[in-house]
Amino acid sequence: MAFAGRSNVGKSSLVNALTGRNSLARISAQPGRTKQLNFFNLGGRLTLVDMPGYGYAVATKEVKEDWQGLMFNYLRGRTTLQRVILLLDARIEVKDNDLAAIGTLDRAAVLYRIVLTKADSVKPQDLIRKQAEIQALARKHPAALSDILTTSSATGLGIAELRADLAALGNPA
């Protein structure tokens, strides 16, 4: 399982919440701190991969392009990769680089699930609208699972559901 998403979308926080360990993946308030693929082997049953973020990061353009190249090279042709979890921040609109990542996943025929993060920071009526928008987006893409999940690492919302989804796959990446 690989976790992809924009810089500062909450990939590391979600890995920590899913594993129940506060410091397994390094968390930073500064976007772009994850600069390499970080593999977390969960007892040989499942491997989680925390990927560098795409989009905004405090780094040079060349460094960001290297990170993004690393991420997409990892995804292509990896037969053991059963799913990518594409994280989108529930607080902000879908950006062009999110759509580019979705397109890349579609072209690579990598099965992915879109997961909204930081849902605790959105008013309930706005969250309902965002969920509908992202559900409609997922349905337009052939490699996306049509049902999305909504999470909050801070409150635990959706963590059990995502954990169950990943556990059902149970193959290393």
Alpha-carbon span 72 to 52, nearest angstrom: 10
pLDDT for 92 equals 95
Q: What is the pLDDT of residues 104-149, one digit of tens each?
A: 888 877 899 999 999 999 999 999 999 999 999 999 998 999 899 9
pLDDT at 157 over 90: yes
How many distinct structural domains can be found in the chain? 1
Name the residue with tokens 């976007």.
31
Q: What is the pLDDT of residues 53-74, one digit of tens each?
A: 776 555 566 665 665 566 667 7
pLDDT at 10 over 90: no
pTM of the model: 0.85
Question: 147: domain range?
Answer: 2-169
For residue 121, the 8-state DSSP code is: G
- At a CB cut-off of 8 Å and minimum separation 6, what does 90 contact? 116, 117, 118, 119, 121, 122, 127, 130, 150
CATH of residue 122's domain is 3.40.50.300
